[in-house]
């Protein structure tokens, strides 16, 4: 029911359950699991999509591998994961290089020094299976998910084509952002990205929505409606 390339994962609309989204987990997988329990997450019907940074702290390494191997969980690569994979591009880094990165606390990677070589390689191998972008829709795209954003004046379909062919500008935008992101993204109803301080606490620009950081699950359905309507829904719930 899905078609994928190394850069793009395409999923059908979820017509039987709910889709949730989470931003920067940063190693807090226990809290994510608690949040899933609180919303009565059903792995046979519901899906969870991660658009933020995943690993921070050595305790999170094994949990991250289990999290990413869960069939109902989908994640896009962030710049943190890409930088980790780049460290292993020419083979596992030696202990001296790992110790230097631990001293710098590079992307919170001080845990590398305490992790075994096998664990490190298992994590990197799992992350290499992750896409740069996720597109949801039956035929035509409906929703898009990416860590940082798209190049300016680029439609969703152009972006996916660029990622599939390894376009440097599209890849850089997906991982680290490029431009202000004020443009309407054509060819998709909503694009979800991870919150960045550059947005100055404004979480919506055109049809792009920035997900708050932290191990907090948000319903994609709720993020599709205008903020005022969502506020009225939340008031009614309380």
pLDDT digits (tens, 9 = 90+) for 14-67: 999 999 999 999 888 889 999 999 999 999 999 999 999 888 765 567 788 888
Kind of pairing between the strands at 204-205 and 208-211: antiparallel
How large is the average pLDDT for residues 203-216? 85
Q: In this structure, what DSSP letter does residue 177 have?
A: -
What does the CA dihedral 44, 45, 50, 55 come to, rounded to 10 degrees?
A: -20
User: Would you say residue 186 has pLDDT above 90?
Assistant: yes
- Structural domain total, the chain: 1
Provide DSSP, 210-238: EEPSSS--EEHHHHTS-HHHHHHHHHHH-
Quote the pLDDT of residue 229: 45
Please state, as a whole number, how many other Cβ atoms lie within 10 Å of the Cβ of residue 168: 8
Kind of pairing between the strands at 3-4 and 218-219: unpaired
Name the nearest CA neighbour of 130 among 26, 20, 49. Answer: 49
What's the gap between Cα 141 and its chain centre? 18
Q: Check residue 45 and give left, alpha or beta (phi > 0: left; psi -120 to 50: alpha).
A: alpha
Q: What is the pLDDT of residues 123-152, one digit of tens each?
A: 888 888 999 999 999 887 799 999 999 999
User: Would you say residue 227 has pLDDT above 70?
Assistant: no
What does the CA dihedral 55, 204, 179, 49 come to, rounded to 10 degrees?
A: 30
Quote the pLDDT of residue 19: 97
- Residue 222 belongs to domain with CATH number: 3.60.21.10
Confidence of residue 228 (pLDDT cuts 50, 70, 90): low
Query: Can you name the residues that pair with 19 across neighbouring β-strands?
Result: 47
Confidence of residue 202 (pLDDT cuts 50, 70, 90): low
Q: Which domain holds residue 53?
A: 3-237
Report percent pLDDT > 90 for the chain. Answer: 44
User: Would you say residue 107 has pLDDT above 70?
Assistant: no
Please state, as a whole number, how many other Cβ atoms lie within 10 Å of the Cβ of residue 76: 26
Tell me the pTM: 0.86
């Amino acid at each position: 029911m899905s078609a994928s390339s190394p850069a793009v994962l395409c999923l059908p609309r979820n017509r039987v359950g709910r889709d949730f989204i989470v931003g920067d987990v940063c190693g807090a997988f226990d809290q994510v699991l608690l949040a899933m329990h609180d919303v009565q997450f059903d792995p046979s019907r519901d899906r969870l999509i991660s658009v933020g940074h995943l690993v921070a702290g050595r305790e999170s390494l094994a949990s991250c591998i289990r999290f990413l191997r869960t069939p109902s969980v989908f994640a896009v690569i962030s710049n943190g994961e890409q930088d980790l994979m780049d460290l292993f591009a020419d083979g596992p880094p030696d202990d001296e290089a790992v110790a230097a990165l631990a001293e710098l606390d590079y992307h919170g990677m001080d845990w590398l020094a305490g992790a075994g070589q096998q664990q490190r390689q298992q994590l990197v191998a799992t992350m290499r299976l992750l896409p740069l972008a996720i597109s949801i829709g039956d035929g035509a795209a409906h929703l898009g998910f990416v860590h940082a954003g798209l190049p300016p004046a680029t439609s969703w379909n152009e972006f996916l084509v660029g990622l599939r062919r390894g376009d440097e500008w599209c890849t850089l935008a997906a991982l680290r952002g490029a431009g202000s992101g004020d443009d309407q993204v054509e060819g998709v109803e909503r694009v979800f990205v991870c919150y960045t301080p550059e947005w100055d606490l404004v979480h919506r620009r055109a049809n792009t929505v920035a997900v708050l950081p932290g191990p907090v699950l948000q319903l994609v359905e709720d993020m599709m409606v205008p903020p005022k309507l969502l506020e009225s829904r939340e008031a009614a719930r309380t």
